[in-house]
Structure 1
Amino acid sequence: MCARKTFYIFVKASDEQQFCAVRQDQPIPPMIDGVRWTYVSCIDTTRDRPFGFDLDRAHDAMRRGSVYFYRRELMFRRTNFLLEAA
């Protein structure tokens, strides 16, 4: 049960804003070879939620036997002279 809440997070070596997540109870796919994709951390989604990580989409990807890909980009817009995250 705990494994369904825990994900391994990997970053793409050529684009440090692109990440993928694999649930702990799923096999790590061969594309994650430690060269093109490297391990970053392990998160427990009951308390951790990295920016850009969508838990529903992550679980959908795991049901399809896939990997969940997401980007961590900060985009800012000007509103009343204050910058805020979009």
Structure 2
Amino acid sequence: MCARKTFYLFAKASDAQQFCAVRQDQPIPAMIDGVQWHYVDCIDTSRDKPFGFDVDDAQRATRDRGVYFYKREFIFSQPGVLLKAA
């Protein structure tokens, strides 16, 4: 079923790193009111892989709670060796 792979994504208004996802074949929870959570996109997990989004966790969470929460954090590390310009 295609709908099990398709999710609506919402971003938390007060924190641009926090997201939640709802499967397209499920109702949108009342907590997603357009004020605290804003619609971002619709993704098909067979081809789209948003950073921080775990498809298996999303399937379990939406089956159990109707919504999947995840955080997109960027972690930068310093390379051990600096790159030289050519």
Query: Scaled by the length of structure 2, what TM-score is found?
Result: 0.90
Identity rate, percent: 70
Structure with bigger RCO (C-alpha 8 Å, 6+ apart): 2
Equivalent-residue separation in structure 2 for 1:23 and 1:80 (angstroms) = 41
Query: How many residues are treated as equivalent by the alignment?
Result: 82
Measured against aligned partners, the alpha-carbon deviations of 1:33-85 in whole angstroms (never above 9, x if no partner) come to 00000100000000001000000100010120331001111011123135xxx
Deviating above 4 A after TM superposition, structure 1's stretches of 4 or more consecutive aligned residues are none
- Tell me the alpha carbon deviations over residues 18-39 of structure 1, each in whole angstroms, 9 at most, x when there is no partner: 0000000111000000000010
Structure 2 unmatched runs, 5+: none
Residue 34 of structure 2: aligned partner = 34
Higher strand share: 1
Q: Structure 1 regions of 5+ residues with no counterpart?
A: none
Report deviation, 1:7.
0.1
* 3-state SS, counterpart of residue 78 of structure 1: coil
Q: What CA RMSD, in Å, does the superposition of the two structures yield over aligned residues?
A: 1.1
TM-score for both structures, normalised by structure 1: 0.90
Counterpart Cα distance in 2 of 1:39 and 1:55 = 19
Which one is further off, 70-79 or 20-29? 70-79
